[in-house]
């Protein structure tokens, strides 16, 4: 009986694979990311959809190089200017020359069709060369593999790089391996500035699998107990040709103590920062330890897809300059800004403007903050900021920095605050062994100071009856910096 069931299942699977079914390549409600050969990540999102005799999908635009040192933020996505999903199963991608590239998603194994043609010059035919079950991103699905062959007007084979390329479509998830159809067919001899690439699926939004676009809140996603060690160098060139860099080396340790989330609006962190600052030209060392707050708020331009233009304006059409971020898969996801600005010329071409700054490239790491950049010197300036060690989610990496202990650091338990929650007033009690005058500040969740007064050692009553109900941070500071910080609730 079991053998009969397996035989029947095999026959059904064979029948399934042998028939032409609609394997749609792109879905308007999904955001997918793909890997290029250099570990750079590029993503695909549909910004809008036009309904008619067929569905027209409009992908998010990216900065596109169009040749002759000219770029544009308007032409479309790497996948094409637009995508037409026809009822007969044909998915049509409009390339840089406004010509259609057709993928017949209903084609059966061995079936051939014309994917692209220039009448009287050449045509490219596509063929389904395989139809199998395939594993990708911890999913299993039926996948069609399509190959291409170029021919001249007489029907003789042409030697084109597209002949060596294949695409793959899954039944339920769209592209597994697409081409950058914007540049199709991208023959190097004819279009030296156009680069056709094969990409591989690296992330899906539905179901959530693999890589996704890195956002600002994911970069600064810390939890209590996370520790970062950061090495910085800053220098200025002194003198002429026989001069030297006047360099300051800073070793900083960030220890995160508390995290407070405010919907999707912001995240506030309480952390301790220990720094060893070496003024190398004076052979002098200073050591500081501070308890600080950091508020993370949305950064819309950072959250855009890799290569998607950002100008700081709502509409890129109103801008005269734009830039973009790159996304790369490494040990963790890395988003990088190379400080390349593109400016609009009088000929409606956007030209790359190299900005002479140090550092020339900054990177942000998923869950590890930023910006980080390797050592770089230019125009009399030297800069470096590198993550050298972290402790996060019970994992450690790198080599910890040697930061000497801080003498006379006042521990937080030497300042007590009660009661909490607070109705009209609370008491701050500073250990009598501490001398001098201290400053007490109340800060709201938007980092705004709402109350400040001077306090001394011993018990002091603080009136908060004038404050609206909510969460506040009480910060007590002395000559050595912040002595204590505590979250209080005013009712």
pLDDT at 270: 94
Answer yes or no: are the C-beta atoms of 356 and 378 closer than 8 Å. yes
Which of 129-138, 169-178, 416-425 comes out lowest in average pLDDT?
Answer: 416-425
**How many domains does the chain fold into?**
2
In a domain, 374, yes or no: no
Region 438-455: what's the mean pLDDT? 85
**Position 399 pLDDT exceeds 60:** yes
DSSP code at position 107? P
pLDDT at 189: 55
Pair of tokens at residue 460: 């002091």
pLDDT at 318: 72
Is the N-terminal amide bond of 421 cis, ω within 30° of 0?
yes
pLDDT at 405: 52
Phi then psi dihedrals of residue 10, to 5 deg: -65, -40
More confident of the two residues 15 and 375: 375
**Position 79 pLDDT exceeds 60:** yes
Query: Tokens 């998915």 sit at which residue?
Result: 91
Region 186-193: what's the mean pLDDT? 60
**Position 315 pLDDT exceeds 80:** no
CA separation for the pair 239, 246 (Å, rounded):
10
Of the pLDDT bands very low, low, confident and very high (cuts 50, 70, 90), residue 409 is: very low
Residue 433 burial (CB count, 10 A): 8
Looking at the DSSP assignment, which residues form a beta bridge with residue 56? 50, 84
User: pLDDT exceeding 90 applies to what percent of the chain?
Assistant: 56
**In CATH, what number is assigned to the domain containing residue 421?**
2.60.40.3080
In a domain, 397, yes or no: no
Question: Would you list the DSSP string of 409-445?
Answer: PPPGGGEEEE-SSBSSEEEEEE-TT--SEEEEEEEET
Q: What is the overall mean pLDDT for the chain?
A: 86
Which of 97-101, 146-150, 336-340, 487-491 comes out lowest in average pLDDT?
Answer: 336-340
Region 248-269: what's the mean pLDDT? 92
CA atoms in the 13 A half-sphere facing the CB of 394 = 0
CA separation for the pair 85, 91 (Å, rounded):
5
Which of 489, 472, 480 has its CA nearest to residue 268?
A: 472
**Position 200 pLDDT exceeds 80:** yes
| Domain residue limits at 422 | 412-490
Of 158, 184, 210, which closes a domain?
210
**pTM more than 0.85:** no
Q: What is the pLDDT of residues 50-63, one digit of tens each?
A: 987 789 999 999 99
More confident of the two residues 450 and 358: 450
Region 4-25: what's the mean pLDDT? 48
CA separation for the pair 21, 175 (Å, rounded):
15
Residue 208 burial (CB count, 10 A): 9
Query: Tokens 């909490």 sit at which residue?
Result: 420
In a domain, 303, yes or no: no
In a domain, 187, yes or no: yes
pLDDT at 21: 55
Region 226-233: what's the mean pLDDT? 96
In a domain, 385, yes or no: no
**SS3 assignment, position 127:** strand
More confident of the two residues 56 and 475: 56
The H or E element that residue 12 is part of is helix 2-18
Region 375-394: what's the mean pLDDT? 88
Which of 14-18, 240-244, 301-305 comes out lowest in average pLDDT?
Answer: 14-18
Of 183, 210, 237, which closes a domain?
210
Which of 96-100, 120-124, 408-412 comes out lowest in average pLDDT?
Answer: 408-412
pLDDT at 16: 38
Q: Which of 98-102, 284-288, 443-447 has the highest mean pLDDT?
A: 98-102
pLDDT at 187: 62
Answer yes or no: are the C-beta atoms of 36 and 327 closer than 8 Å. no
In a domain, 407, yes or no: no
Of 210, 237, 252, which closes a domain?
210
Which of 440, 444, 441 has its CA nearest to residue 469?
A: 444
In a domain, 463, yes or no: yes
In a domain, 371, yes or no: no
CA separation for the pair 77, 383 (Å, rounded):
35
């Amino acid at each position: 009986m079991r053998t009969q069931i397996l035989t029947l299942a095999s026959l059904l699977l064979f029948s399934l694979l042998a028939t032409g079914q609609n394997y749609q390549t792109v879905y308007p409600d999904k955001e997918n990311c793909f890997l290029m050969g250099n570990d750079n990540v590029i993503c695909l999102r549909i910004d809008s959809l036009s309904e008619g005799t067929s569905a027209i999908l409009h992908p998010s635009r990216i900065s596109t190089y169009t040749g002759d040192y000219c770029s544009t933020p308007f032409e479309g996505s790497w996948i094409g200017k637009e995508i037409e999903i026809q009822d007969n199963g044909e998915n049509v991608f409009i390339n840089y020359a406004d010509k259609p590239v057709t993928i017949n998603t209903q084609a059966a194994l061995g079936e051939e069709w014309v994917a692209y043609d220039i009448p009287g010059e050449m045509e490219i035919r596509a063929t389904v060369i395989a139809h199998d079950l395939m594993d990708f991103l911890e999913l299993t699905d039926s996948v069609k593999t399509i190959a291409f062959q170029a021919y001249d007007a007489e029907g003789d084979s042409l030697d084109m790089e597209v002949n060596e390329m294949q695409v793959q479509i899954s039944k339920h998830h769209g592209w597994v391996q697409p081409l950058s159809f914007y540049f199709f067919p991208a023959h190097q001899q004819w279009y030296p500035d156009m680069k056709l690439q094969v990409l591989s699926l690296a992330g899906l939004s539905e179901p959530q699998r693999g890589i996704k676009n890195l956002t600002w809140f994911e970069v600064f996603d810390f939890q209590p107990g996370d520790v970062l060690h950061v090495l910085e160098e800053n220098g200025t060139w002194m003198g002429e040709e026989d001069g030297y860099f006047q360099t300051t080396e800073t070793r900083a340790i960030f220890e995160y103590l508390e995290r407070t989330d405010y919907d999707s609006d912001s995240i506030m962190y309480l952390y301790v920062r220990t720094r060893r600052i070496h003024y190398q030209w004076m052979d002098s060392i200073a050591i500081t330890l501070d308890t600080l707050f950091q508020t993370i708020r949305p950064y819309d331009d950072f959250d855009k897809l890799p290569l998607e233009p950002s100008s700081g304006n709502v509409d890129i059409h109103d801008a005269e300059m734009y830039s973009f971020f790159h996304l790369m898969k490494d040990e963790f996801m890395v988003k990088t800004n190379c400080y390349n600005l593109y400016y609009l010329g009088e000929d409606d071409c956007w030209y790359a403007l190299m900005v002479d700054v140090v550092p020339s490239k900054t990177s942000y790491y998923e869950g590890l903050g930023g910006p980080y950049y390797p050592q770089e010197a230019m125009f009399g300036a030297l800069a470096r900021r590198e993550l050298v060690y972290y402790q996060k989610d019970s994992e450690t990496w790198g080599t910890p920095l040697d930061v000497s202990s801080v003498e006379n650091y006042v521990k937080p338990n030497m300042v007590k605050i009660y009661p909490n929650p607070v109705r009209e007033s609370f008491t701050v009690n500073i250990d009598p062994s501490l001398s001098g005058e201290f400053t007490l500040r109340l800060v709201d969740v938007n980092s705004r100071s709402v109350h400040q007064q001077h306090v001394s050692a011993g018990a002091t009553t603080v009136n908060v009856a004038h404050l609206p109900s909510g969460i506040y941070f009480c910060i007590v500071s002395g000559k050595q910096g912040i002595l204590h910080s505590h979250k209080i609730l005013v009712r």
